Amino acid sequence: MALPIDFILEYINRPKKLTQKEVEKIGPKLLANATELVRSGEELKKKYAAEMKQRSRDRKTLAEIDKYEESLEILEHVRDPAVLTPA
């Protein structure tokens, strides 16, 4: 039986539990990043709500929302401290 290479790579690169030392090392950065994401999410929510009242959503706002969702995805699966720096 042959497995697709994607399945094998997903297994190899799956999220792994962090050790206590790793948590202590990247915890403050992770907390700061999460706090910044929450703040920017609140700003986007307010901006989006205001634009929905006007029935206009410009591409810039939609791009900001996409970038925010991408940042959340990265934060959920972060393991490498280098990934924690916002783009």
CA dist list (Å): 85 to 25, 33, 56: 14, 8, 32
Q: Report the C-alpha gap between 31 and 6 in whole angstroms.
A: 32
Checking if the pLDDT of 3 tops 70, the result is yes
DSSP state of 17: P
Q: Report the C-alpha gap between 22 and 67 in whole angstroms.
A: 27
pLDDT of residue 47: 79
The proportion of the chain whose per-residue pLDDT surpasses 90, expressed as a percent, equals: 0
Q: What is the pLDDT of residues 18-41, one digit of tens each?
A: 788 988 888 888 888 888 888 888
Which residue's entry shows tokens 């929450």? Answer: 38
